[in-house]
Structure 1
Amino acid sequence: MNYNVAVVGCTGMVGRKFLEILAERHFPIAELYLFASARSAGKKLSFEGKEYTVEELKEDNIKNKKIDFALFSAGGDTSKSFAPIFANYGAVVIDNSSAWRMDPNVPLVVPEVNPEDIKKHKGIIANPNCSTIQAVVALKPLYDAYGIKRIVYSTYQAVSGAGMNGYNDLMEGYKGETPKKFPYAIAGNLLPHIDSFLEDGYTKEEIKMVNETRKILHDDNLKITATTVRVPVLNSHSESINVELSKDFDIKEVFELFKTSKGIILEDDVANLVYPMPLNSSGKDEVYVGRIRRDFSLDSGLNLWVVADNIRKGAALNAIQIAEYMISE
C-alpha cells in the first residue's frame, strides 16, 4: 500500500533532508505534496526524477487532498497553526518543532526508545530535539538494564542545528565576515549559548533536553542537568554524557549492551584511536557511542561520548522512522 505524504517546510534544510531520506528508503508514496511559505510558493523541487511545484501553506491547499502523513519542519508558530488543520483533515502530523513536544496529549517519540507511545497519538506526534534524540538512544539500554539516577549532559552542537544561516555564519566567518545568525563569531570560537536564556540562567535548549528526556523515558523524577554549546563544526552533534546508574555494572557488560542495541554503533577502541567523531557520523543513520569508562568519582558512575548526524537522525530520519513504524504496525 502506498501513502499520500506532505512535506511542510520543504525548502529548508530539514525539509530537503526529508525528501532525500524518503527517496533513499523507498518510502511507499502514492502522492507527494510540498508546502512552504508564500514567498517559496511556485518553486520547483525534484523528487525521484519528477519535478514538483511548491504550494503555499494555507487551508485551501490542504482540504482538497487526502494526506496520510504530514512531515513538518516549518517552525513552532507555523506548526501550532497548521498541524491541527492537517490532523482535522485526516493526516498524521509528525512535527519537528518544539511546539507540541511537552503537550501531555502529544506523544514525543524516538522509535528505538519508546515506539509504543506512537499509538497514543491524536493526529499529532512530536519529534524530539536533535540533541535529545541521540542522547536517549544511547541511554535507553542503560536505563533498562541498570536504571538511571542522574544525567549530566554537555553538548558540542554543530552549526547546521541553527539552519542554513548558522551554516553560513561558520563558512563566511572564516573569511572575516560579521555573523548574521549568532551573536558572536562561531569560526574559531565556542558559544555556550543555544536558544534564548531563561531567568534561572539556563537556555531553552538545556531545559528541552531535561524535560524531553524525562518525558521519553517516562520518568519525571530523573535528575538531569545540561550545558549546551555551539561549536565550529558543520554537521553532527557530539555529547559528553555522565550517568549515575541505579545499580552497579560490569564495564564489559556495558560494552556488550551497546554492541547489541538497536540504532547504535559502538566505536570504542582507544588503543587504535577509534572513537566517535562528527566527520564519521555525518550522513549516517545511527548513533555512535564510545569513550565508555567508569566514573570513579561516584558509585555506579559512567561516562559516554555520543555523536550523531543532527539533521539526519536528529530530525528528518527520526520523523520518517515514526511513519515507517506506523505502517509496519
Structure 2
Amino acid sequence: MGYRVVVAGATGNVGREMLNILEERQFPVDEIAVLASRRSQGTEVSFGDRTLKCQDIERFDFAGWDMALFAIGSDATKVYAPRAAKAGCVVIDNSSLYRMDPDVPLVVPEVNAEAVDGYAKKNIIANPNCSTAQMVVALKPLHDRARIKRVVVATYQSVSGAGKAGMDELWDQTKAIYNPTSEVPPKAFQKQIAFNVIPQIDVFMEDGATKEEWKMVVETKKILDPKIKVSATCVRVPVFVGHAEALHIEFEDFLDEEEARDILREAPGVMVIDKREPGGYITPVECVGDFATFVSRIRQDSTVENGLALWCVSDNLRKGAALNAVQIAETLGNRCLKKG
C-alpha cells in the first residue's frame, strides 16, 4: 500500500529530479500523475523504468490524490495550490509563495520535522530556499550544542538555481567567448555570467539587500530559531550545479573545532570531508547527484569570542529543492497520513 502522488512541473529541472528521487528512495507510490502547462501536455518524462506523459495542470482533478509536489513557480502555484489543497491533496511547494505564511509549515526534515504536523491549516507545506536548506542542515546540530547568536554567510550559487535558462546562458556565453563572431548578451542574469561572478540574486530591496539574501535571513529564523541574526551576501557563480557557502558562526558558548567536527559527523544529512591538505575538501562539482550536505574547512574564527568558520556544499537541485520536498513527503507520510 502506498500513496497517490502528483508531481507538478514535471518537465523542469526540479520536477524531473523529484521523479528521480522518488524512485531512488523507493517512496511508496501506488499511482503517480505528472503535470505541466498546456503547451507541455503529452511531453514524456521518466519515472524509474516507466515513461509517463504529462497532463495539463489546468484540467487536472486533484480529488482523491494524497500529496502533490509542486515545482511550477509562484505565479502558477498561487492558482493551483489552493485548488489542490481544497480537494484534499496536501501540497508540498517548492516556490517562495507560502514560505513566510504563518499558517504554512516551512520544513527541513533534519531540522524541524515536527513542524509538518501543522500542515492541516492550509493543506500546504513549504520547501525553503535552496541556499537556506543546506545551511540550516549544517547549523542545526551546532545550534543544539552551543546556541548560535549570529551567522555571516557568503554564498556561491550555481546557475541551475535560475533554471534551464540560466544553465543555457552559461553554456552559450562560454562557447561565444571562444568564438569572436558570436555574442550572447545577458538575459537570465544581470551581467555576463561566463568567467564572472554576479553579487545579485533576485531583486534589490529598500535596505540594499537582495530578496535572496532576505530569504536566507527570515527562513533561517522560521526554521531554526527566531533569535539567530543572519547577514547574507548571495553571489551567482559560473558553475552549472551545486551551491557552496562560506559560513562564519558566533555562538553563545565556546565550541571547539574538534568537537564541532565530531558533532557534524554524527548529524543527519551531513557528510564531513575535512582534511587539512591540498584538495581535502568538497567542491560543487563533487557534490552533484549526492543527497548529503557536505561540510569542510571547519576551524575556529578568532575574530569573535565564540566563533567557528566552515565551508558548506550541496547539490541545489537535490537538497536545495527536490530531495527536501521528497523528504517532507516521507515525513508527512510517517507522521500524519495513512497509506491508501
TM-score over 0.5 (shorter chain): yes
Q: TM range, normalised to the smaller chain?
A: over 0.9
Question: Could you give the per-residue CA deviations for residues 64-85 of structure 1, whole angstroms, max 9, x where no partner exists?
Answer: x411110000001111211111
**Aligned pair partner of 1:70 in 60, 68, 71:** 68
1:86 aligns with 2:92: no
Corresponding residue for residue 145 of structure 1: 145
Residues 177-212 of structure 1: per-residue CA shift (max 9 Å, x gap): 323311211010000000111121110000000000
Structure 1 residue 88, shift from structure 2 partner? 1.1
- Partner residue of 2:235 out of 222, 229, 234: 229
Q: Equivalents in 2 of 1:226, 1:295: separation in Å?
A: 17
Summarize the alignment of residues 110-125 of structure 1 with structure 2, pairs less than 5 Å apart: 110-122=108-120, 123-125=123-125
Q: CA deviation at 1:272?
A: 5.2
SS at match of 2:109: coil
Are the aligned partners of 2:256 and 2:300 in contact in 1 as well (CA < 8 Å)? Answer: no
SS in 2 for 1:289: strand
TM-superposed deviation, 1:139:
0.3
Residue 182 of structure 1 is matched in structure 2 by: 189
For structure 2, list consecutive stretches of 5 or more residues without a partner in the other structure: 177-183, 336-340
> 2: CA distance between counterparts of 1:226 and 1:46?
37
- Taking a change above 3 Å as real, the CA distance of residues 146 and 54 of structure 1, as seen in their structure-2 partners, is same
The equivalent of 2:314 in structure 1 is 308
Report sequence identity in percent.
48
Work out whether residues 16 and 45 of structure 2, in 8 Å CA contact, stay in contact via their aligned partners in 1.
no
- The answer to whether the aligner puts 1:108 opposite 2:106 as a matched pair is yes
Q: Deviations over 1:25-68 (max 9, x none)?
A: 1111111111111111122223233332211112x4214x4111
Q: Work out whether 1:199 is the aligned partner of 2:206.
A: yes
Offset at 1:298? 1.1
Which amino acid in the other structure matches residue 171 of structure 2?
A: M
Map of 1:96 onto structure 2 = 94
1:162 corresponding residue in structure 2:
162
SS of the residue corresponding to residue 175 of structure 2 reads coil
SS at match of 1:306: strand
- Distance between the aligned counterparts of 1:189 and 1:267, measured in 2? 28
User: In the alignment, what sits opposite 1:61?
Assistant: 60
Question: Hey, what does 2:268 align to over in structure 1?
Answer: 262
When normalised by structure 2's length, the TM-score is 0.93
Deviations 1:270-316 (A, max 9, x none): 13531121011111000000101111111001101000000011000
Q: CA RMSD in A?
A: 1.1
Q: In the alignment, is residue 238 of structure 1 matched against residue 238 of structure 2? A: no
State the distance in 2 between where 1:78 and 1:274 align. 43
Query: Which SS does the other structure have where 1:114 is aligned?
Result: helix
Contact 2:100/2:219, CA 8 A, preserved across alignment: yes
* C-alpha distance in 2 between matches for 1:203 and 1:272: 34
| 1:230-263 Cα deviation digits (max 9, x unpaired) | 0001110000011100111222111110111111
User: Structure 1: which 5+ residue stretches go unaligned?
Assistant: none
Partner of 1:293: helix, strand, or coil?
Answer: strand
Give the structure 2 partner of residue 129 of structure 1.
Answer: 129
Distance of 1:160 and 1:252 partners within structure 2: 34
Which of the numbers 201, 214, 217 marks the counterpart of 2:221? 214
Quick one: distance in 2 between partners of 1:270 and 1:103? Answer: 43
AA at the equivalent of 1:179: P
Aligned to 1:198, the other structure's residue is in SS state: coil
Please say if residues 200 and 236 of structure 2, whose CA atoms lie closer than 8 Å, have aligned partners that are also in contact: yes
1:5-84 equivalences under 5 Å are 5-58=5-58, 60-63=59-62, 65-84=63-82
Q: How many residues align?
A: 326
Distance 1:16 1:190 in 2: 28
TM-score (norm 1): 0.97
Deviations 1:101-155 (A, max 9, x none): 0000000000000000000112100000000000000000111000011110100
